[in-house]
Chain A
Amino acid sequence: MRKFLTSVAFVGLSVAPALAEVSDGKVKIGILNDQSGVYADFGGKFSYEAARMAVEDFGGTVLGAPVEVVTADHQNKADIASNIARQWYDTEQVDTIMELTSSSVGLAVQALSLEAKKITINTGAATSELTGAQCSPYGFHWAYDTHALAVGTGGALVEEGGDSWFFLTADYAFGYSLEENTSNFVKEKGGTVLGAVRHPLATTDYSSFLLQAQASGAKVIGLANAGMDTQNAIKQAAEFGITAGGQRLAALLFTLAEVHGIGLDAAQGLNLTESFYWNRTDETRAFGQRFMDRTGAMPNMVHAGTYSAVLSYLKAIEAAGTDETEAVAAKLHELPVSDVFASNGKVAANGRMISDVYLMEVKKPGESDTPWDYYTVKATIPGDQAYLDPAKSGCALVK
């Protein structure tokens, strides 16, 4: 017995130096997002799976300490998200929270994490406020934001020949800001905006709006809305033969998961911007296939972004030699991001991870050879052009 105890003590001592650098001997990553509400497909449970993949690919341990991923469904309610985030930090030794779909949740959890001195990496919310006026030294934003979507779809599409625009805009702040941002890039590139029509949130009948758009003669109809609104507008546009008639549809916030949802028949010819496409290179294909084997679906930019965020966080801990927030945040700012999601990513002083985004066109049903083969990459927009110049972001951390 005594011998056993000594050997246990010896093992304990030999492991101790490595563990000492990691608080409570474990690195715990929380994936907090909407798994039952309107964004369940957009990120949902698959983001948790992506995070677990990243941990496995990293080796399951960092600095000798095991890495654990926990998840929770905030049901698209900021108060539940905030409650769980605080509880995770205060009682369950969670070290960082990621994903955080929806703007109100993202901003709320980033603010409380600043107070709790914990790192957040947002991969699910669109708002550029996260790295703007409400930025935080411990808050990071991966994958995409409203600015990148507007540049990708607005600017790059003009260069592709779509130089006259008409907007179908959801009648609230998010819709206006998408429309305004995109219009600016369209005009900057020499395009014209012929007009816009506002539709109420959660409209089911788009016929009158689509007819106005059709009558405008614009080459591109921009859909400045999100979620079900975009899906309904695209389906009805297909019924009106708008794309068949030569006009192009551009969705400002739409991902692979939603394209899969409405099908190629309705979505064909649609232009959109994403920061990741599984069928782009051999590396992304291999990643996509592994993700597909686990979940039954190909990853979109939120899933791949979450994978990249977890990997980058673990690399930062390893480089810092500790999981202490200040040191890890410094390393996250400093280290380049190079993985399957972004080959040349870098993190700006405001917490924005800058990587390339892609203008996509959805294939026709006949052009798609394999399942989930939905996009043709029309243009690559370098990260520096896609994201807002940190100095102009309004973030106080940028000098």
Chain B
Amino acid sequence: MVDINQLVEIRWHGRGGQGAVTSAELLARAAIDEGKYAQAFPSFGPERRGAPVLSFVRVDSQQPIRTRAGIQEPDVVVVLDTTLLAITKITAGLKADGMVVINTRKPVKELRQEFGINCPLATVDATTIAREVLGIPITNTTMLGALVKATGIVKLESLEEPLKQRFGRLAERNIAAMKKAYQETSVKE
């Protein structure tokens, strides 16, 4: 399992406009509010709606983070959009004891077979939750709930303040979606 007392490196896979960069930022802010050290950054460069994009988070509960280079060997990979599985090797560089958190409706067994994912795997149907709770299929805040369930990287309530600051009157629904995903996420070794 991912040891959250060490430096944890997380890579988010999404499509431009799905909020992968925002969720990375919100996670880092929650960790920092808890007194931890964190970095969040986008895959640097031009932003294009719909194109596959990456964002990154480092969290260290012990010491300031000095590495100023991209994350090549993440501990955790979060996938916002199931369709990315077919076009990207989302487990590329994943550490031996790393894990993957995926927004999907597919059964775990099928995912393992189809995409050769052998590591611990957390899944949740974030798209349905987002549609129901937010009214739009944007899954970035929903998937924060799944990530927290899978790793315990921050406390779920630590994300509430960053979400409120970021989304204002829309925060409540995003928090609700995040909490629902937290409850519904299943983690398989």
Partners in one complex: no
Interface residues of A (CB under 8 A from B): none
Binding site for A on B (CB under 8 A): none
